[in-house]
Structure 1
Amino acid sequence: MTDFSKILDKAKELENKMKESQEKIKSIKVEGISGSNSVKVTLNGEGEMIGIFISDDIMKEDKSVIEDLIVAAHNNAKEKLKSKTSEEISKVTGGFGIPGFKWPL
C-alpha cells in the first residue's frame, strides 16, 4: 500500500508542477522577425498574436511581399514559442516527454 501512496503523491506533485508550468507558459512572449527586422510579430504563450510591427520602408513594397513577410515573421515566432514551451515542459517532466501529449501549437 505504501508504494501506491508514493505513486499518488508523485502524481499530485507532477500535477501541481504542470499547473505552475502552464501559468508560466501563458506569460511567455516571443517575437518573430522577417525581412531584416522590417516585420516583427509578437505572440503570447497561448499562441495569440499580441503585436505586429511593420517598418515604414517595407510599406513601399508590393502587397504580396508584405503579406509574405508577415507570414514568415509569424512562423518564426511560432517556432520560438514551441521551443520555449518545450523547455518549460521539460523542466517539469525532467526532460522526458509524455507519450501522446502535444501542445496545440
Structure 2
Amino acid sequence: MKDLGGLMKQAQAMQQKLADAQARLAEMVVEGTSGGGMVTVVLKGSGELAEVKLDESLLAPGEGEVISDLIVAAHADAKRKLDAKQADLMREAAGPLAGMGIPGLKF
C-alpha cells in the first residue's frame, strides 16, 4: 500500500491549488471585440457582463441591428477567451491530475 499520509498531503495541496485558482478566476477580467474594435465587451471571471463600449459612429440612426450583431459577436469573443483562461488555470492547478477524467475536474 502506498504512503497514505503522503497521498493525503498531495490531495490537500491540490485542493489548496484549486481553491487559489478559483479565487484568481473570480478576479479575472477579459475583453472581447468585434467590428474591428468598434464594439468591446468586458466579462468578469464569473462570466458576468461588466461593460460594453461602442464606437460613436455606430450610434447613427438605422444601425441598431448592426450594433446588436456586433455586441453578440464581441461577447462570444470574450467568452471564448474567458473559457480558455479558466481551462488553463484549472489545468495548472490540477497538475498531474489534469486530463485523468476525475469527476468534478473539467478541463
TM-score by length of 2: 0.86
Q: Secondary structure at the match of 1:94?
A: helix
Distance 1:83 1:21 in 2: 14
- Please give the per-residue CA displacement for 1:22-50, whole angstroms capped at 9, x wherever unaligned: 01111111000000111000001110011
What TM-score, normalized by structure 1, do the two folds share? 0.88
Determine the structure 2 residue equivalent to 1:48.
48
1:39 equivalent in alignment to 2:39: yes
Which letter does structure 2 place at the counterpart of 1:85? Q
1:97 corresponds to which residue?
A: 99
The number of equivalent residue pairs is 103
Counterpart residue identity of residue 9, structure 1: K
Distance 1:102 1:8 in 2: 22
Partners of 2:9 and 2:100 in 1: CA distance? 18
Give the CA RMSD over aligned residues: 1.8
**Structure 1, unpaired ranges of 5+:** none
